[in-house]
Amino acid sequence: MDISTTYMGLALESPVIVGSCGLTDAVEKLKRIEDAGAGAAVLKSIFEEEIAYEYNDIIKDVSLTTGYNLEQFDYLDVQLRGKKLFAYLDLIKKAKAGVSMPVIASVNCVYSHEWSSFATQIAEAGADALELNMFFVPADFERERSELETLYFQIVEKLLKTITIPVSLKISHYFSNLGQMIRRLSETGISGIVLFNRFFSPDIDTDRLEVKPSFIFSSPSDLAISLRWMAIMSQRVNCDLAASTGVHDAQGVIKQILAGAQAVQMVSTLYKNKIPYLKTVDRDIQNWMETHGFKTLGDFRGKLSQAEADNPAVYDRLQFMKYYA
């Protein structure tokens, strides 16, 4: 059984990509990921906010001891950014020298002006593609919805002018007209969209009366949202779609490909079951294909997408009508 696929024009030996996380932040880890049979890996993101926070801390120290000095801040800014970015570029170069699977760099992007020069360096360091993890909280009461959405297009336009490696967007499902937004983004010239990112969420501790972090890892039931949207969008877009969130086993991968995914990202399940579990996932996909008489992923990709399913309306249904009745 052939489980190879292409994603953003890259050849992958397996549809399973290890998503951006702490498991992909060092070349030794990437080698283990490749040995276990992953098709590609998305490096741990470099966070624009992270740089900003560190910068603010230093600024606080400097301003306490020496008072404000704009020139000094400019210097610090360049130094600090330089250090973080250098370490990231070094990771990309080492990864490319150490593994032969595609290596996708990842940037957590907040403001459009920041990343175009860095993106060039990412491409020059040898990254096979760049995934942009973009999100603006839709609870900004000062800005119009359309203003927030425009930012996505501005960032993409700028990046596509800057670099020639494939670019993908990892987006959330918090858009007022999600289907239209996914389609419009797919028409910008990007090569892939990842449906969907999973965010850190707050929870409330009722004993201590404190806000605390909620579960960090997903559960298999979290697959439902990306599965629905994969099925609805897979034949309506102009770029590849990869699934993310709640894919915990071969069944999850197969469902997403049946819905139309070109590739699938996994994270939480690999923290739980460890990297060698990827071998089990690849083997289980092949066994399932053999049972069902499929020789390649293309033989069944999209068979249960909304465009091809016998009962397409099921993907539009939201209410538990039958159960309420």
Ligand X SMILES: Cc1cc2nc3c(=O)[nH]c(=O)nc-3n(C[C@H](O)[C@H](O)[C@H](O)COP(=O)(O)O)c2cc1C
Which residues lie near ligand X (CB under 6 A)? 19-22, 44-45, 106, 108, 133, 170, 197-198, 216-218, 222, 244-247, 266-268
Q: Taking a C-beta distance cutoff of 8 angstroms, is the pair 240, 263 a contact?
A: yes
Least distance CB 223 / ligand X (angstroms): 8
Cβ-based nearer residue to ligand X, 133 or 186: 133
**Which residues face 251 on adjacent strands?**
none
Task: Give the span between the Cα atoms of 223 and 229, in whole angstroms.
Answer: 10
Least distance CB 226 / ligand X (angstroms): 9
Least distance CB 196 / ligand X (angstroms): 8
Cβ-based nearer residue to ligand X, 103 or 294: 103
Name which of 185, 283, 293 is nearest 229 in CA terms: 185
Cβ-based nearer residue to ligand X, 16 or 181: 16
Least distance CB 301 / ligand X (angstroms): 20
Cβ-based nearer residue to ligand X, 112 or 133: 133
Cβ-based nearer residue to ligand X, 92 or 294: 92
Least distance CB 323 / ligand X (angstroms): 27
Task: Give the span between the Cα atoms of 302 and 13, in whole angstroms.
Answer: 19
Least distance CB 175 / ligand X (angstroms): 17
For residues 157-188, one letter each, b for 16 or more C-beta atoms within 10 angstroms of the residue's C-beta and e for the rest, the string is eebbeebebbbbbbbbeebeebeebbbebbeb
- Cis upstream peptide for 196 (omega within 30°): yes
Cβ-based nearer residue to ligand X, 216 or 224: 216
Cβ-based nearer residue to ligand X, 232 or 266: 266
Least distance CB 271 / ligand X (angstroms): 6
Number of Cβ atoms within 10 Å of the Cβ of 298: 13
Cβ-based nearer residue to ligand X, 149 or 222: 222
Least distance CB 43 / ligand X (angstroms): 8
